[in-house]
Amino acid sequence: MEAVRTEDFIRAVKGTIANSGVAKRDTIHSISIDSRTVREGEVFFALRGERFDGHDFIPEAISNGASMVVAKREWWDQKGSGSTHSLPFVIVDDTLKALGDFARYYRGLFDLKVVGITGANGKTTAKDMTASVLSEKFRVRKSIGNYNNLFGLPLSILQISESDQVGIFEMGMSRPGEVARLTQIGHPDIGVILNVGPVHLEFMQSVQKVAEAKFEMLQNLPEGALALLNGDDSYCLDMISRWKGKAMTFGAAATCDFRALEVHSNSSGYPSFTFNDLVELKLSVLGDYNIHNALVASAVGTLLGLTPEEIKRGVERFAGTPMRMQKVSVGGLTILDDSYNANPTSMRNALELLSQMKTKGKKVAVLGDMLELGERTKVYHQEIGHLAAKSGLDILVTVGELGGEIAASAAGAELRVESFPRREEVVDFLLGELSQGDILLVKASRAIGLEEVVDKVKSRFQKKRD
């Protein structure tokens, strides 16, 4: 983060100094939302989350060297004002809103192009692939990991430096209104909507409402910004019909502005296509569904002036994002680590990819619960079970209560089905079944923690081979 005058910071967060007699620094250079990692001189934002309230950890932040605290007015009136403090407290109505307001102000200090990416699936991969392409020509700042919510996006934006030329930021959501706020904070010059699908239905109720939440990006783009949408997605096409601003599309459809032509996949699952009759792109990531991510990267590259050759280099050198269909080979065993997250669409994509891959050994899938799917949760898991039964698997292993619904729906097909209530029981079973030449797919929602299965299988299978 570049230095910001303290007075400008206070105005940006719409705050007031509650203990005005305390000396404050002229500038701030960094902020923190974690009291455990606060460094000397940082401003600590006391944020309230689902499990913790940052106000409870203000003493720890101060002892670790915080130079200023941003706290909620309600807390100050009830608890803070009765104590003597040696550093200034900036009091605001809502600390999370204040963090976003400061990030919005900070983003406006820099003359750089910003790309915002939202969608049901593929946001992190699209962001990372686009960064790979744009890095061929520009100094790029991108979201930290998958920091894409009301906490994470501001933290990513506050990493922008004066030398950065392009920023690429994910904008996720789990509830209505979040994409609108994130778009206001990020102020993107190009707003990308990758796709719409059944995600966060526990809070959104229907896919149509998910689409409306994604449409918030278009409704909040700054004047003159470009909307870039998936021309193969019916929900995105509906958005374009209602959007009065400038929009372009990517996809395989003949009407798309940025097209994938002559699409192929080799026996290992790596796709290739011709981009707009300009250049052939051979992806280094698995799955036909990644063609749309490559189209986003190529389209944004084209819009920002990259040559077809630069786009090709950037796309083809991108080797993937950890835990997102990451191919790992251990002692002759191929592991498809897609353990980061799961929803019905991404689960379907993973099974279709596995069914297309060639192997001399067995095809084994470990599938766990898909969370936040609302009242159709059971139905979605049953549908995945039916699909798994037709995907050419030799062994299906499920984890969790909802995983049991997948197993029950796949039972009776020509494959072995095993179901476990917890992930800890899965590894021993797999090690007794897996052999050299097999392919193992691992996928579930993030909270299920199947990356632990991947790590243990990698470690113990190698030892078994040795």
CATH number of 110-316: 3.40.1190.10
Look at residue 205 in the predicted model and tell me its pLDDT. Answer: 85
Q: Which residue in 189, 190, 116 sits closest to 153, CA to CA?
A: 116
Percent residues over pLDDT 70 in the chain:
99
CATH 3.10.150.10 matches 326-465:
no
75: left (phi over 0), alpha (psi -120 to 50) or beta: alpha
pLDDT at 222 over 70: yes
Mean pLDDT, rounded, for 229-252: 97
pLDDT at 119 over 80: yes
Look at residue 197 in the predicted model and tell me its pLDDT. Answer: 93
Q: How confident is the model at residue 466 (pLDDT cuts 50, 70, 90)?
A: low
Look at residue 54 in the predicted model and tell me its pLDDT. Answer: 96
Percent residues over pLDDT 90 in the chain:
91
List of residues 6+ apart from 69 with CB closer than 8 A: 43, 44, 46, 58, 61, 62, 85, 87, 88, 89, 90
Look at residue 166 in the predicted model and tell me its pLDDT. Answer: 99
Mean per-residue pLDDT over the chain, rounded: 95
For residue 304, CA distances in Å to 65, 259, 392 come to: 42, 17, 43
CB 304 within 8 A of CB 113: yes
In this structure, are strands 190-193 and 226-230 parallel, antiparallel, or unpaired?
parallel
Q: Which residue in 139, 108, 156, 125 sits closest to 1, CA to CA?
A: 156
Q: d(Cα 338, Cα 346) in Å, to the nearest integer?
A: 9
Give residue-wise pLDDT tens across range 354-385.
999 999 999 999 999 999 999 999 999 999 99
Mean pLDDT, rounded, for 36-55: 94
CB 70 within 8 A of CB 43: yes
CB 443 within 8 A of CB 367: yes
First to last CA, the chain: 48
Look at residue 287 in the predicted model and tell me its pLDDT. Answer: 96
DSSP string computed for 443-466: E--GGG-THHHHHHHHHHHHHHH-
Mean pLDDT, rounded, for 87-95: 96
Long-range contacts of residues 140-144, Cβ cutoff 8 Å, at least 24 apart = 140/164, 140/165, 140/166, 140/167, 140/168, 141/112, 141/166, 141/167, 141/168, 142/167, 142/168, 142/169, 143/168, 143/169, 143/170
Instruction: Give the residue carrying structure tokens 């007015």.
Output: 73
Look at residue 21 in the predicted model and tell me its pLDDT. Answer: 74
Residue 442 pairs with which residues in a beta bridge? 337, 366
pLDDT at 254 over 80: yes
pLDDT at 83 over 80: no
Q: d(Cα 32, Cα 341) in Å, to the nearest integer?
A: 27
Q: At what angle do helices 290-303 and 123-134 cross, to 10 degrees?
A: 40
Look at residue 159 in the predicted model and tell me its pLDDT. Answer: 97
Mean pLDDT, rounded, for 303-320: 98
Mean pLDDT, rounded, for 377-397: 97
Question: What ranges do the domains of the chain cover?
Answer: 4-93, 110-316, 326-465
Looking at 3.40.50.2300, 3.40.1390.10, 1.20.1740.10, 1.10.1740.10, the CATH number of the domain 4-93 comes to: 3.40.1390.10
Mean pLDDT, rounded, for 312-324: 96
Look at residue 413 in the predicted model and tell me its pLDDT. Answer: 83
Mean pLDDT, rounded, for 423-440: 95
pLDDT at 294 over 80: yes
Mean pLDDT, rounded, for 397-403: 97
Look at residue 162 in the predicted model and tell me its pLDDT. Answer: 97
pTM: 0.93
Q: How confident is the model at residue 309 (pLDDT cuts 50, 70, 90)?
A: very high
Look at residue 465 in the predicted model and tell me its pLDDT. Answer: 63
Which of the two residues, 465 and 279, has the higher pLDDT score? 279
Give residue-wise pLDDT tens across range 157-185.
999 999 999 999 999 998 999 999 999 99
CB 69 within 8 A of CB 43: yes
Laid out side by side, the sheet with 31-32 consists of 16-17, 89-92, 68-72, 43-45, 31-32
Q: For 264, how many CA atoms within 13 A lie in the half-sphere containing its CB?
A: 8
In this structure, are strands 326-330 and 333-338 parallel, antiparallel, or unpaired?
antiparallel
Q: d(Cα 92, Cα 77) in Å, to the nearest integer?
A: 11
